[in-house]
Amino acid sequence: LKRKLALDVPLTDNSVPANFDSGVKVVVRMRPLRHDKEEVDSSAVKKISNDSLFINGQNFTFDSVADTNATQLDIFELVGAPLVENCLAGFNSSVFAYGQTGSGKTYTIWGPPNSLSEDNITNDQRGLTPRVFERLFARIDKEQTKHSDQQLKYQCRCSFIEIYNEQITDLLDPNQRNLQIREDVKSGVYVENLTEEPACSMKDVTQLLIKGLSNRRVGATSINSESSRSHTVFTCVVESRCKSSADGISRFKTSRINLVDLAGSERQKLTGAAGERLKEAGNINRSLSQLGNLINILAEVSQTGKQRHIPYRDSKLTFLLQDSLGGNAKLTMVCAISPAQSCRNETFSTLRFAQRAKAIKNKAVVNEV
């Protein structure tokens, strides 16, 4: 089912909230040790305070460090609640979960398997995404009631994709493979023929999440499984229309929420790969390594103030999310780490990545439609 819910010719509300915070927010989440498999008494990482930790003789400071005691609700309050407010204020707002396979990205973004169900939306284990939409719909209700005199109305529509081997699959219609990204003046960057479903309630979103997640490549997580090498992106476009009581003119705002579960950041072993296999391995990583390049470039531009070409188009993920990475965008990186000694090197490189992301400052540029 493909529906287009575009409103009339939009007149955008260009106001930038006074409290616009331009930085990329970086939250580190450390998962608990797995007692069945990992040394219990030797953590490679030490949390020092609510925003800093220590590893390999080095201190790192971020916006927040959530340790093994942090609950799914804590992470929602830290990351999800501000995401909803930013989106309602008109900013494209994204959360990316970054980290090695097994560090807790999927747990953070969606929750463990079976935590999502239509008749039980109170499961404590449910992840960031269902909690974000519960809050979003509650806030929309409140805003519509508060501004009923201005006939404020919101509409949401959702899509769900997987990027594997630089190919985009529609998780809401998995027969649609190898979809192409297009760009034009009217619609900006979009995926051609992608299913977009209207969503008016938590029930609608839960159904879409259950359907899409079950269509991912492989459910089980292991370092070499295909699932650990694919990116999943759930997007919700939020449109609002409001009639000014002063001049009677309708004003429109459009912004999007992206929840992104990235491929495992561990370096893929290319040993023995040749020809097509080698090409495939390169493609699998291209979106992730290109995201790393962009983070480096955006951080450099923020620090030096020098303009540079930003190569968004060099991978599917960065091309698709370019409106959510720079300019008018609010980005939160949840960097998932394991405290296990065996993960020390990967954890260290995740924290180095997180540190570079922290250096980015976006500009409060407003969308022009």
Query: Which residue ranges make up the site for ligand ADP (CB under 6 A)?
Result: 31-32, 99, 101-107, 112, 221, 228, 264, 336
How is residue 357 written in tokens?
Answer: 């992301």
Q: Choose between 80 and 104: whose C-beta lies nearer to ligand ADP.
A: 104
Element (H, E) at 264: none
Q: Choose between 86 and 94: whose C-beta lies nearer to ligand ADP.
A: 94
Give the residue among 11, 77, 62, 82 at the shortest CA–CA distance from 241.
11
* Distance from C-alpha of 215 to C-alpha of 211, rounded to nearest angstrom: 7
Q: Choose between 31 and 241: whose C-beta lies nearer to ligand ADP.
A: 31
206, 117 Cβ separation under 8 angstroms: yes
Q: What angle do CA 128, 50, 135 make, to 5 degrees?
A: 25
**Shortest distance, CB of residue 99 to ligand ADP, whole angstroms?**
6
Burial of 164 (0-12, 13-18, 19+ CB in 10 A): buried
* Distance from C-alpha of 77 to C-alpha of 75, rounded to nearest angstrom: 5
Q: Choose between 336 and 351: whose C-beta lies nearer to ligand ADP.
A: 336
DSSP label at 8? S
**Shortest distance, CB of residue 110 to ligand ADP, whole angstroms?**
8
**Shortest distance, CB of residue 304 to ligand ADP, whole angstroms?**
33
**Shortest distance, CB of residue 56 to ligand ADP, whole angstroms?**
21
Q: Choose between 205 and 260: whose C-beta lies nearer to ligand ADP.
A: 260
Which residue lies nearest ligand ADP, judged by its C-beta? 104
Q: Choose between 102 and 130: whose C-beta lies nearer to ligand ADP.
A: 102
**Shortest distance, CB of residue 125 to ligand ADP, whole angstroms?**
8
Around 321, how many Cα atoms within 13 Å sit in the side-chain half-sphere? 32
**Shortest distance, CB of residue 101 to ligand ADP, whole angstroms?**
4
**Shortest distance, CB of residue 356 to ligand ADP, whole angstroms?**
20
Around 256, how many Cα atoms within 13 Å sit in the side-chain half-sphere? 23
215, 227 Cβ separation under 8 angstroms: no
Q: Choose between 107 and 154: whose C-beta lies nearer to ligand ADP.
A: 107
* Distance from C-alpha of 365 to C-alpha of 205, rounded to nearest angstrom: 30
Q: How far is CA 207 from CA 158, 186, 194, in A?
A: 11, 30, 17
**Shortest distance, CB of residue 59 to ligand ADP, whole angstroms?**
23
For 88: left if phi > 0, alpha if psi spans -120 to 50, otherwise beta; the answer is: alpha
Q: Choose between 17 and 112: whose C-beta lies nearer to ligand ADP.
A: 112
